[in-house]
Amino acid sequence: MFNDIGPLELVTIAVLAVLVFGPDKLPKVIQDMMRTVRKIREFSESAKADIRSELGPEFKDFEFEDLNPKTFIRKQLDNDELGLKEIRNGFDLKKEMAEVTDAVHSRDTDTGSSTSAISASSGDGRIDMTKKPEEPAKDDRPPYDADAT
C-alpha cells in the first residue's frame, strides 16, 4: 500500500504528527487510526467473502487483484493461450524502423536533382517528402476571395 514512501517521508509525517497532535495525544490518535484500519480491513474481507459465496463454485479461484488491468494483462500474457508471445517476438520494431530508414535514404539518391517534392516522384508514383517544394513566385498570389474572409 505504501511501497513508495521512503524514510525521509516517514520522518516528516512523524514530525508533523507530533506538531499537530502533540506528544500527549499522539498515542491515542495512533490507536484510533489502527482500530479504524483494522475495521476497514475486516469489512473488506467480509465483503470479498460474501462476493465469492454469491458467485458460486465456478469462481472459487477468482482473485480481486485480477480486476486491476495491469495484473490482468500480465496474467494473460503469461498464460499465452492466444499465441501473443509468438506475435510479440515476431515483430521487431528496430528492424522495421531500420528498413523504413533504409528505404527513405535509398529513395533520396533515386530522385535526382529535382527541387519540387511533387515533381520528385519516381517512376512508381511515390513522392519524395524530403525535398522542399518550390516557393511560388511573388506575382503568383492566390486570388482574393471576399466570401472566405
SS3 content of the chain, % helix, strand, coil (to 5): 60, 0, 40
Q: In the numeric block, which cell numbers belong to residue 91?
A: 515483430
Residue 136 pLDDT? 57
- Rounded to whole angstroms, the Cα distance separating 23 from 27 reads 8
**Region for 121 from its dihedrals, namely left if φ exceeds 0, alpha if ψ lies in -120 to 50, beta otherwise:** beta
Nearest to 51 by CA among 36, 43, 71: 43
Model pLDDT for residues 36-79, shown as the tens digit of each residue: 999 999 999 999 888 888 888 877 777 777 778 888 777 776 66
pLDDT band at 94 (very low <50, low <70, confident <90, very high): confident
Quote the percentage of the chain above a pLDDT of 90. 20
- Rounded to whole angstroms, the Cα distance separating 60 from 113 reads 72
